């Protein structure tokens, strides 16, 4: 059965990425599904204003996760999606960024598959691509980086035990999701595994939204600069010489959210 034949069917769960934060960066498909769903099961980190697109009679369930505070445990969330689908509802599981990049989408559809629930995945602009673009930091560049790596800033057990040797390769851009809490360890490990303290690094908070803030520094000074600026999650850490292009390539002037919503009409 093709995705077109399954489109908008009751009893189906749609894993939908809402993009990096700006409402008008969502896909057309995501926007349509959100407007037609019977139930929206959503995280905290979804595009600003996206819930205004939901049907007035649709059910909205927040299952968002914040650092060290999971509103709904993952196993319970998986069971919730199964139950809603078995009730014959069209379910949109709405996530920030892309469902398959640090969004636990794979875990959720494994449960759906095992329970015989039809599902579909609607990709979104992942935070690394969207926030870096809005910060004027190209993730790859022929003069700076021929590869790019995405890493989580904390693992399931709360540690930051990553393949530092691979992440600290020269001529590479490394992007850390959910890493603000461990920024000192991340910068320290990147220096311990070969990068100099003067290696450029940046943090982008609330990327692509009207609240976007960008802090640029180097590995040795970035943690202190971030603390001084009062940067908190949601934010990405970008490490690489591409960061040096920020001052020249930064192009984004925040657009008020009402204007962004009007662009979808």
Supply the residues annotated as catalytic.
Answer: 43, 65
CA-to-CA distance for 84 and 10, rounded, in angstroms? 10
CA-to-CA distance for 154 and 205, rounded, in angstroms? 17
Please state whether beta strands 39-42 and 91-95 pair in parallel, antiparallel, or not at all (unpaired).
Answer: parallel
H or E segment and range at residue 65: strand 65-66
Backbone conformation region of residue 117, classed left if phi is above 0, alpha if psi is from -120 to 50, else beta? beta
Considering all CA atoms of the chain, what is the largest pairwise distance in Å, rounded to the nearest integer? 57
């Amino acid at each position: 059965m093709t995705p077109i034949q399954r489109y908008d069917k009751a009893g189906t769960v749609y894993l939908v990425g809402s993009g990096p934060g700006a409402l008008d960066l969502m896909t057309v498909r995501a926007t349509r599904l959100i407007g037609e769903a019977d139930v929206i099961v959503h995280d905290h980190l979804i595009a600003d204003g996206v819930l205004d697109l939901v049907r007035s009679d649709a059910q909205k369930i927040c299952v968002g996760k914040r650092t060290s505070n999971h509103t709904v445990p993952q196993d319970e969330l998986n069971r919730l999606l199964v139950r809603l689908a078995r009730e014959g509802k069209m379910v949109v599981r709405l996530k920030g960024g892309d469902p398959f990049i640090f969004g636990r989408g794979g875990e959720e559809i494994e449960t759906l598959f095992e329970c015989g629930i039809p599902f579909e995945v609607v990709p979104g602009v992942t935070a690394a691509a969207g926030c870096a673009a809005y910060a004027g930091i190209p993730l790859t560049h022929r003069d700076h980086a021929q590869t790019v790596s995405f890493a989580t800033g904390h693992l399931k057990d709360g540690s930051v035990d990553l393949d530092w040797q691979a992440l600290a390769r020269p001529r590479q851009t490394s992007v850390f999701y959910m890493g603000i809490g461990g920024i000192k360890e991340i910068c320290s490990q990147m220096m311990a595994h070969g990068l100099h303290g003067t290696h450029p690094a940046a943090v982008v908070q609330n990327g692509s939204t009207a609240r976007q803030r960008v802090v640029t520094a180097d590995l040795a000074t970035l943690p202190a600069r971030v603390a001084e600026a009062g940067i908190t999650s949601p934010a990405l850490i970008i490490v690489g010489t591409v960061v040096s292009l920020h001052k020249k390539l930064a192009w984004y002037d925040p657009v008020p959210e009402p204007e962004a919503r009007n662009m979808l009409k």
